[in-house]
């Protein structure tokens, strides 16, 4: 029922030429959006160029945005501008933003509201670090992040939300959570959403896994009951690998 999503997060990689070459390589090969949502999240200065060449089935996302509508926030990007240049998605609360730029659960919540004020689909990241995992507090930690992130959102917004469960210890480390660990954490997120809203809404929210997803592990992840796709860093830099991941997410695969 839930349409899978494969979102590439390029982080601070690729020049304009490299980015355009990638889009040229994938755009005609990306499967129909009716079956899988395919997204590339790039650095802000190339977003407009990529939107112009996204083709029929690929969509472009930003990696962050500011929660204010406009103002004296040197270096930041507004939701209004992202919408205005045709960007469709925005990653919010990535663990690197939380760690290096002091994003908190409160700013994440404000950014989600702001994304919905404009026509942007938020991809909201949550996840625990290794000490939390080892202490057995993963579900407690992630539940708290979800509760704060969703404050004040209406049912329709939560039903259309994309959440990415990304255990910090698995990001860029080559260490993937096992499909079972990922599915358990994602099931818990769905349970929290169900308790906050209702089971019907929770059944609609797409929840992705992120953390060292690559062609070698995508099939096992996608077989799990509650994993609706992936947020992919390193492996999204190669057009070949990225297309393999998108193909693997097609329903019935």
Task: Tell me the residue number closest to ligand PGA, measured at CB.
Answer: 233
Output the smallest distance, CB 7 to ligand PGA, in A. 8
Residue for token digits 């209406």?
154
Output the smallest distance, CB 125 to ligand PGA, in A. 7
Q: Is 190 helix (H, G, I), strand (E, B) or coil?
A: helix
Q: 118, 54, 133, 121: which is closest to 83 by C-alpha?
A: 118
| Near ligand PGA in 6-35, by CB under 6 A | 9
- Cα dihedral across residues 144, 209, 40, 174: positive or negative: positive
Task: Find the length of the chain.
Answer: 253
Instruction: List the catalytic residue out of 37, 67, 103, 166.
Output: 166
Is residue 233 involved in binding ligand PGA (CB under 6 A)? yes
Q: Is 141 a catalytic residue?
A: no
Is residue 231 involved in binding ligand PGA (CB under 6 A)? yes
Looking at the Cβ atoms of 138 and 201, the one nearer to ligand PGA is 138
- Greatest alpha-carbon pair distance for the chain in Å reads 49
DSSP secondary structure letter of residue 170: G
Instruction: List the catalytic residue out of 37, 57, 94, 96.
Output: 94
Is residue 132 involved in binding ligand PGA (CB under 6 A)? no
Alpha-carbon gap, residue 234 to 57, rounded angstroms: 22
Output the smallest distance, CB 18 to ligand PGA, in A. 17
Looking at the Cβ atoms of 31 and 233, the one nearer to ligand PGA is 233
110 contacts 78 by C-beta, under 8 angstroms: no
Output the smallest distance, CB 230 to ligand PGA, in A. 8
Considering only 5, 50, 90, 171, the residue that binds ligand PGA (CB under 6 A) is 171
| Near ligand PGA in 195-224, by CB under 6 A | 210-213
Q: 233, 228, 227, 145: which is closest to 193 by C-alpha?
A: 145
Looking at the Cβ atoms of 120 and 232, the one nearer to ligand PGA is 232
Alpha-carbon gap, residue 193 to 197, rounded angstroms: 6
Is residue 232 involved in binding ligand PGA (CB under 6 A)? yes
Q: How many residues of this chain bind ligand PGA (CB under 6 A)?
A: 13
Q: Is 94 a catalytic residue?
A: yes
Alpha-carbon gap, residue 212 to 175, rounded angstroms: 6
Q: What angle do CA 20, 55, 2 make, to 5 degrees?
A: 115
Is residue 229 involved in binding ligand PGA (CB under 6 A)? no
Residue for token digits 């830099």?
237
Binding site for ligand PGA (CB under 6 A): 9, 166, 171-172, 210-213, 231-235
Active site residues: 94, 166
């Amino acid at each position: 029922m839930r349409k899978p999503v494969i979102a590439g997060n390029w982080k601070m990689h690729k020049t304009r030429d490299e980015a355009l070459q990638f889009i040229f390589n994938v755009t005609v090969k990306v499967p129909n959006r009716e079956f899988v949502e395919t997204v590339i999240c790039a650095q802000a200065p190339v977003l407009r160029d990529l939107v112009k060449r996204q083709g029929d089935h690929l969509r472009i996302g930003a990696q962050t945005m500011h929660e204010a509508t406009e103002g004296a926030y040197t270096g930041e990007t507004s939701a209004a501008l992202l919408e205005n240049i045709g960007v469709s998605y925005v990653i919010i609360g990535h663990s690197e933003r939380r760690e290096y730029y002091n994003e908190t659960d409160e700013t994440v919540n404000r950014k989600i509201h702001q994304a919905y004020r404009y026509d942007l689909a938020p991809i909201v990241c949550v996840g625990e670090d290794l000490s939390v995992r080892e202490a057995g507090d993963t579900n407690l930690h992630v539940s708290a992040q979800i509760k704060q992130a969703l404050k004040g959102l209406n049912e329709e917004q939560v039903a259309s939300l994309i959440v990415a469960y990304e255990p910090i210890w698995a990001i860029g480390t080559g260490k993937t959570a096992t499909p079972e660990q990922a599915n358990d954490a994602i099931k818990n997120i769905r349970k929290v959403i169900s308790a906050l809203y209702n089971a019907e809404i929770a059944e609609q929210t797409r929840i992705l896994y992120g953390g060292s997803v690559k062609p070698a592990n995508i099939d096992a992840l996608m077989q799990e009951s509650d994993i609706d796709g992936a947020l992919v860093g390193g492996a999204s830099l190669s057009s070949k690998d990225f297309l393999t991941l998108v193909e693997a997410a097609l329903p019935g695969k």
